Amino acid sequence: MTTFISTLGFDTSHLQNLLVEEDVKDGDRLLIVRPEDDDSRGESAVQDVEGMVGMLDTELTTEVVRFEPGEYEATVTELVDRLNDTDGDIVVSLSGGDRFLLVSLAVAAMSTTADVRTTHLRSDVTRESYEVEVPSVRPSLNDRDAEVLSYVVDNGSVSNTRIAAATGNSETTVHRSVEALDDMGYVEVDEDGGSNSVEATLMGKVAGKTV
């Protein structure tokens, strides 16, 4: 099974080209990414795509997912979750639609543990589509650092003492892991007197879903 995921603006031609170029089979899925605050032109574009899908000789399931404009962190993390939970191949199209959602989907595609088979881009100048390789930014963490990061992501702002108690590591070991994660940009540490507070950054939240 292949899942096609694409942002969508008012122009549907990039999706038409995508479905013609790719070998769509029965059971494949099309995931359309749209802003939550939509208008009549956006709804018309979605209806056009659904009508085009209905004309195909294959059974292609279509789903529209909507995100609140400006909620960058929530959008990226939900898209990463959706990609990570997807079975089979993934084909990503970054060729149209809201710029905010384009960037969010691009970051998610680079961060997912799922198999992104192909990524499509289309030039606004030539109107030609290109297949590109999107680099992976998945972290390479040792087991101890991955455990600490996962705990911080799941539990919000926590201290080294709490992390140590929950993971069974010494506070010295946790301190080294937190320092390493801080250096990599995965956590932020707020020192307050004799205690500290460790909180995951967006990079850390995305990385915590892929370790």
The domains found in the chain, sorted by start residue, are: 2-132 (3.40.50.11700), 143-208 (1.10.10.10)
Tokens standing for residue 69: 């404009």
| Residue 141: how many other CB atoms lie within 10 Å | 21
pLDDT at 113 over 80: yes
CA distance 101 to 75: 8
Question: Tens digit of pLDDT for each residue in 16-45?
Answer: 888 888 878 889 999 999 998 767 888 888
Question: What does the pLDDT read at residue 53?
Answer: 85
CA 136 to chain centre: 12
Phi (first) and psi of residue 13, to 5 degrees: -65, -35
Residue 136: DSSP 8-state: P
The SS3 call for residue 166 is helix
Highest mean pLDDT among 38-52, 83-97, 181-195: 83-97
What confidence score (pLDDT) does residue 153 get?
92
How many CA atoms does the CB half-sphere of 9 hold within 13 Å?
13
User: What percent of the chain clears pLDDT 90, i.e. is strictly above it?
Assistant: 48
In the predicted model, what is the mean pLDDT of residues 7-22?
86
**Which residues in 68-184 belong to E strands, given as ranges?**
89-93, 115-122, 129-132
β-bridge mates for residue 191, sequence order:
196
Angle among Cα 190, 191, 196 to the nearest 5 degrees reads 85
Give the pTM: 0.80
Q: Does the pLDDT of residue 210 top 80, yes or no? A: no
Tell me whether residue 200 is exposed, middle or buried, using C-beta atoms within 10 angstroms of its C-beta: 0 to 12, 13 to 18, 19 or more.
buried
Please give the pLDDT value at position 38. 66
Q: How far is CA 107 from CA 27, 74, 89, 172, 203, in A?
A: 27, 12, 18, 34, 10
Q: Is 158 helix (H, G, I), strand (E, B) or coil?
A: strand
Token pair 């990599």 is at which residue?
184
